[in-house]
Amino acid sequence: MRWPVRWVTVDRIVFGRPLRSVAFDVAVSGLVALFAVLGIFAQAGGAAATAVGIVMALVLLFRRIHPSAVAAGVAALALLQVVAGWGPLAYDVGVLIALYSVVKYADRLRDGILAGIVAAIGVLLAAVQTPGPAPWWAGALYYGLITGAVWLVGLNVRTRRLYVLSLEERAATLEREREAESRAAVAEERTRIARELHDVVAHSMAVMIVQADGVRFTIDRDPATAREAAKVVADTGRQALEEMRRLVGVLREPSRPEPAAALDAVPAHRRPALVELPDLLDRFRAAGLRITDTATGTPVALPPGLELTVYRVVQESLTNALKHAGVGAAVELRLEWFADAVVVRAVDDGRGRPVVRPAPSGGHGLVGMRERVGVYDGSLAAGPTLGGGWRVEARLPLPSAPGTEEGKAAA
C-alpha cells in the first residue's frame, strides 16, 4: 500500500515576524552596510561617512514595522550627509529602500506622499553636489527618474497588497458568517425537533392515562382486558421514556417563528405520519417533480418520533431536488424496510429547469436532516451522482421489540 506524500511547510516566527521577512531585511541592511564599509578609503568623508552608512543600515532593519519612523531617520542621515558636503555615496541606496518601504507599508498613504516630497528635495540637493561636467539639472533629472520609479513601484505594490488583504478579510468574514448561519440553523432545527418530540411525549402520556383509567375500571369485571390495557400502558411508557430522553438531548431555547412557505407540506402545529406520504408526493408532483416511489420489505409500526423523522427526511429530500434540480427533474424515491433499520433513498437526475415559485420547506436542508437522523443514531449520506444529479440516503435503526426492552430492563 502506498501512502500519499504530503509536504508540510512551517513558518517560523522570529521577533514576532516570519523568518523569511527577517532574513530578507537583514540581507538588505547588510548590503547597505557593505557599500558603506567598501567605500571607507575611497569615498568622501572616509570613516565618518562609513559610520553614517552603517547607522542607516541598522535603521533599515525596522522598515516593515516602523516604515514612517525609518524613513524619517534615513532622511535625517541623508541631510547630515548633505550638510557635510560629501555628495551622493553608494550606500545612499538605503534612501530608495526607505522610500519604497514607507510607500508600501505605512498605514496612511499620506506618509508616503510626504516622503516623496522630501525625496524630491533630496534629489535637487544631490544633483547640486554631484561633481562632473554635466549641468546640475541633468543630474537632477537622472536622480528624479530613479526616485520616481521607486515611488511608483512602491505605490503599485501597496495597492496590490491592500487588495489582497481586503480579499482575505472578506473571505474570513464570509466564513464567519457561514459558520454563524450554520450554528443558527442547527439550533433552530433542534428547537423544532424538540417541539415535535414534546408533542409525541404528550400524546403518549395521554394514552397512558386513558389506558390506566381503563385498567382501574375493568380489573375486577374483565381481567383479560385489564391485562391488555396494562400492557399497552407499559409499552407506551417505555416508548415515551425513550422519546423523553431524546427530547432532553436536543432541547434548546425557543427559536424565532418560522416563515411560512407557499408550498409548505404540513403546518408546523400538526405532526404528520407516514400514511400521509402519498399526499406529500402528490404535492411535489404538482410542483413539477416526476417522482417514482417504491417500497420494499415489510413495513413495521414506528414510534411517533421516528415516524416523523422518516417523513421529514422524505420531505426535505424532495424539497432539495425541487430547489436545485429544478422543475421537471426525475426523482427516484425508495423506502426500504429491513429487520433492523428503515432506509430512505432519494436520487434525482439534476435535469430540471429553475423553479418559478418557492419550493416547499421542511427545515434547513442537509443540516436539518442530519440533526433529525442523528437524534435516532442513524446515518445520512448525501452527494452528487455521476450523471449530474444528487443522492440522499438516510438509514434509521429500528427500535427493539417491547419484549426485548422489557427483558433488558429486568436484567
β-sheet bridge partners, residue 341: 397
Beta strands (DSSP E) in 21-87 are: none
Q: Which residue has the higher pLDDT, 260 or 4?
A: 4
Asked whether residue 294 falls in the same domain as residue 222, the answer is no
Over the chain, what is the mean pLDDT?
A: 77
User: What is the rounded (10 degree) CA torsion for 306, 312, 315, 321?
Assistant: -110
Q: 390-397 and 341-348: which strand pairing?
A: antiparallel
Asked whether residue 278 falls in the same domain as residue 317, the answer is yes
- If you write DSSP's letter for every residue of 202-232 in order, what string do you get? HHHHHHHHHHHHHHHHHTTT-HHHHHHHHHH
The answer as to whether 2 is a domain residue is no
> To the nearest whole percent, how much of the chain has pLDDT over 70?
76
Q: What's the half-sphere exposure (Cβ side, CA atoms, 13 Å) at 151?
A: 19
Separation of alpha carbons 224 and 83, rounded Å: 118
Asked whether residue 184 falls in the same domain as residue 221, the answer is yes
Q: Which residue has the higher pLDDT, 222 or 298?
A: 298
pLDDT over 70 at 234, yes or no: yes
Separation of alpha carbons 191 and 391, rounded Å: 27
Asked whether residue 236 falls in the same domain as residue 286, the answer is no
For residue 139, what is its C-alpha cell?
A: 543630474
The answer as to whether 168 is a domain residue is no
User: What is the rounded (10 degree) CA torsion for 84, 85, 91, 93?
Assistant: 110
pLDDT over 80 at 104, yes or no: yes
Separation of alpha carbons 54 and 56, rounded Å: 5
The answer as to whether 266 is a domain residue is no
The answer as to whether 261 is a domain residue is no
Asked whether residue 332 falls in the same domain as residue 383, the answer is yes
Q: 516593515: which residue's cell?
A: 64
pLDDT of res. 198: 64
Confidence class for position 201, pLDDT limits 50, 70, 90: low
pLDDT over 90 at 29, yes or no: no
Q: What is the mean pLDDT of residues 221-244?
A: 73
Separation of alpha carbons 80 and 77, rounded Å: 5
**Which of 218, 250, 282 represents a domain boundary (last residue)?**
250
Most confident of 84-93, 140-149, 209-218: 140-149
pLDDT over 70 at 365, yes or no: no
What is the per-residue pLDDT across 290-331, written as a single tens digit (0 to 9) for each? 999 999 999 888 888 888 889 888 988 888 887 788 778 899
Confidence class for position 262, pLDDT limits 50, 70, 90: very low
pLDDT over 60 at 40, yes or no: yes
By residue range, what is the domain housing residue 346? 274-403
Q: Which H or E run contains 291?
A: strand 290-296
For residue 255, what is its C-alpha cell?
A: 427559536
**Which of 75, 103, 131 represents a domain boundary (last residue)?**
131
Q: Which residue has the higher pLDDT, 37 or 258?
A: 37
Asked whether residue 285 falls in the same domain as residue 362, the answer is yes
Task: Say whether pTM exceeds 0.85.
Answer: no
Q: Give, in order, the Cα–Cα distances in Å from 176 to each of 134, 181, 350, 363, 391.
A: 62, 9, 30, 22, 28
Residue 302 belongs to domain with CATH number: 3.30.565.10
User: What is the rounded (10 degree) CA torsion for 325, 327, 328, 332?
Assistant: 50
Q: Which residue has the higher pLDDT, 245 or 101?
A: 101
Separation of alpha carbons 154 and 85, rounded Å: 29
Asked whether residue 283 falls in the same domain as residue 196, the answer is no
Q: Give, in order, the Cα–Cα distances in Å from 349 to each of 26, 315, 335, 359, 389.
A: 61, 17, 18, 18, 4
> To the nearest whole percent, how much of the chain has pLDDT over 90?
12
pLDDT of res. 332: 94
Residue 119 and residue 151 in contact, taking contact as beta carbons nearer than 8 Å: yes
b/e map of 45-64 (b: 16 or more CB within 10 Å)?
Answer: beeebbebbbbbbebbbebb
Residue 358 and residue 320 in contact, taking contact as beta carbons nearer than 8 Å: no
**Which of 103, 131, 159 represents a domain boundary (last residue)?**
131
Asked whether residue 227 falls in the same domain as residue 297, the answer is no
Q: What is the mean pLDDT of residues 171-176?
A: 85
Asked whether residue 298 falls in the same domain as residue 395, the answer is yes
Q: Which residue has the higher pLDDT, 105 or 206?
A: 105
The answer as to whether 301 is a domain residue is yes
pLDDT over 80 at 204, yes or no: no
The answer as to whether 267 is a domain residue is no
b/e map of 185-209 (b: 16 or more CB within 10 Å)?
Answer: bbebbbbbbbbbbebbbeebeebbe
Asked whether residue 298 falls in the same domain as residue 196, the answer is no
pLDDT of res. 411: 35
The answer as to whether 262 is a domain residue is no
From 82, 73, 79, select the one nearest 44 (Cα to Cα).
82
Q: Is the dihedral of CA 40, 41, 43, 48 positive or negative?
A: positive
**251 CB burial (10 A radius; 0-12, 13-18, 19+):** middle
pLDDT of res. 210: 65
pLDDT of res. 185: 74
The answer as to whether 368 is a domain residue is yes
pLDDT over 90 at 347, yes or no: yes
Separation of alpha carbons 104 and 251, rounded Å: 53
Asked whether residue 233 falls in the same domain as residue 280, the answer is no
Residue 188 belongs to domain with CATH number: 1.20.5
Asked whether residue 334 falls in the same domain as residue 394, the answer is yes
pLDDT of res. 323: 79
Separation of alpha carbons 43 and 89, rounded Å: 7
Q: How many domains does the chain have?
A: 3
